[in-house]
Amino acid sequence: MTEKKYYPWLLVLVYSMLGIFCPAAVTQFSMVVDDLAKALQVDQQIVLQADTCRAVCLVIAMFLSSYIYRRLGLRKTIALGLAFQALPQFIIPFAVSINSIPLFFIAKASQGLNAIAFPLYISAITMWIDKRYYALSTAIFNGSFTAGAGVGAWISGRIVPAMGWRSSFYIIGIMVVICSVPVLLLTRDRTVQNPAEPEIKHRGVYTNIVRNPVTWMCVFALLANTWVTQAVTVDMSVYSKSLNYSYSSIGNMMLIISAVTVISSIIAGAVSDAAAARSKNKIRARSIVMGAGYALSAAAAALIAPMAGVSFMALEITACMMMFGASWAIGVFWALPSEIYDPSDSVAGVAFCSGASNIPNPIASAVVGVVLGTRGYWGAAWMTCAATSVISLIASIMLSKQKAVSLSADSEGNR
């Protein structure tokens, strides 16, 4: 199967199908925050804090991804991640039915551990795909994750009024299980794992990755995408509800935002590949394309609150612009690690960039939704998205001035 020319694109396809329903669980959860709070007889903030715990576990999982991969291998690590994703969709409704807040928190938090698999999806795609299509292939995959946010909101918008909030959990969980089957059947590792390879070598590689300034430029270049995506995925529906919009209106808006951002991500990937093909410094070419997205995201984020006061359509258009910019950037970003790190160190590089850039994930959830949003300071909440977009724009500009490097070469003393 792996010898077939279509195999790499088949991986992209099945990973993307799965990618739709994993993040769908996040927006599906945020759409029923009110229902969960009423069922558990707690404040809305308590329910949102459970999602913040998920975000914390997500960051931890990304840092552990490379370590677990070296011990379990590619397919087993992905299978473990999928179990963490699917099971809570069935446990959470049960926890609410017995009014167990500890079980509710444990189930939601553990869902974040599915992120041990995320760097591996990216690495598996780039280890099999032709270098000419690094950005396009990873953009399609990342676009599916963005689409999932809209799918989760749309499902909740349709299912909750008709069948109740519990059904929305079950439907997402069942779809994750169904999509997991082809993923586990088709995933193959191209990297030869050598059991005799000393652990100190891996630690040396990781140390050099952490110490290299280019790595941190990558991390800050990814910061705004993490912050903006978290804010839109978790808090946009909460914000819209505070403006008294209906389930169906919010679900439709989130679906449109997702469609727009998927298109943005894919176009950005194609543009990035074309720019890199014409440039001697591929990092520079991709970084310039990436920075353009953050410029748009910063401008749109600053306009979210003012436009929300105009009309629902104005809010929807501005939110689409903000996510178009952030998704444009992510459509480019995941091609960069393949330009920076040796193939054998790709998992470690992607895992570190993913983990470090996602540290703001729980912070974004807490700041935008809990600290500012639930207190009515939504204008300030969306301005944090503008601020992080500016930071990532600056990082992209700095990254464009760097030359291609091989970090793993440093770890072995200029081998």
Residue 151 inside a domain? The answer is yes
Is the entire prediction scored with pTM above 0.75? Answer: no
Which CATH number belongs to the domain containing residue 364 in this structure? 1.20.1250.20
Contact (Cβ atoms closer than 8 angstroms) between residue 72 and residue 189: no
Residue 193 inside a domain? The answer is no
Residue 249 inside a domain? The answer is yes
- How far apart (Å, rounded) are the C-alpha atoms in residues 252 and 250? 5
Q: What is the pLDDT of residues 281-312, one digit of tens each?
A: 888 899 999 999 999 999 999 999 899 888 88
- How far apart (Å, rounded) are the C-alpha atoms in residues 135 and 144? 14
Residue 194 inside a domain? The answer is no
Residue 366 inside a domain? The answer is yes
Neighbours of 14 (CB within 10 A): 18
Residue 1 inside a domain? The answer is no
Q: What is the pLDDT of residues 213-259, one digit of tens each?
A: 888 888 899 889 889 988 887 788 888 888 888 877 887 888 888 88
Contact (Cβ atoms closer than 8 angstroms) between residue 324 and residue 264: yes
* Burial group, residue 288, by CB count within 10 angstroms (0-12, 13-18, 19+): middle
**Percentage, residues of the chain above pLDDT 90:** 34
pLDDT of residue 26: 83
Low-confidence stretches of the chain (pLDDT < 50) are: 192-201, 407-415
Domain count, the chain: 1
Residue range(s) defining the domain that contains residue 205: 7-186+199-411
Residue 191 inside a domain? The answer is no
pLDDT of residue 364: 84
Q: What is the pLDDT of residues 180-218, one digit of tens each?
A: 999 999 998 875 444 444 444 455 566 777 777 888 888
Residue 2 inside a domain? The answer is no
Angle between the 88-97 and 101-111 helix axes, to the nearest 10 degrees?
170
Q: What is the token pair recorded at 195?
A: 């059991």
pLDDT of residue 358: 75
**Beta strands of 130-237 (E only): which ranges?**
none
